[in-house]
Amino acid sequence: MLALALGLASLAACAGAGGAGAAGPARPALAPADQPDLSEGAARQTLGRFARALEAGRWPEAWSLLSPRWRAVTSPERLAADWRGAGPVARESAARAAARLEAGVALEGLAGEGGGPLRLPVGPGRAARLVADGGRWRVDALE
């Protein structure tokens, strides 16, 4: 199983201890204004929102942007604890992804209906990865 490598390598290991588990929070509901959108622009917006939410400590927002597999095994509180435990590596990963988005670096993969996963290269052997979930992009990795 791949780790959500924001420097949060302990996320997968800690999921059983204190994570939400199968009985945890349900999938976040789409707001009425949120229409399904699997475009590259929507993927970039999701990743940008995720990075900004992490940097600002908006844990429920960041958690809601995670892929279903990560939402199933963690919680906003666990995400916050793992972020703090990762030290500067987590902040650097989020900042690197935000900078690459701002620089207009193209996403790799196929956007659109049935597309994905998408990747944003953020360094040698490192990438942010997004997966489709219910017509929306969700963050599956940020390494």
Average pLDDT over residues 50-58: 95
Taking residues 122-126, report their average pLDDT: 86
Q: What is the pLDDT of residue 67?
A: 97
pLDDT at 116: 76
Note the pLDDT of residue 113: 73
What pLDDT sits at residue 34? Answer: 64
DSSP annotation of 1: -
pLDDT band at 6 (very low <50, low <70, confident <90, very high): very low
Average pLDDT for 88-100: 91
- pLDDT value of position 9: 34
pLDDT, greater one: 62 or 142: 62
Whole-number pLDDT of residue 142 = 85
Helices (H), 8-103: 10-14, 40-56, 59-64, 68-73, 76-86, 88-102
Dist. CA 27–CA 138, nearest whole Å: 11
pLDDT of 16 higher than 60 = no
Q: What is the reported pLDDT for 35?
A: 81
Mean pLDDT, rounded, of the chain: 80
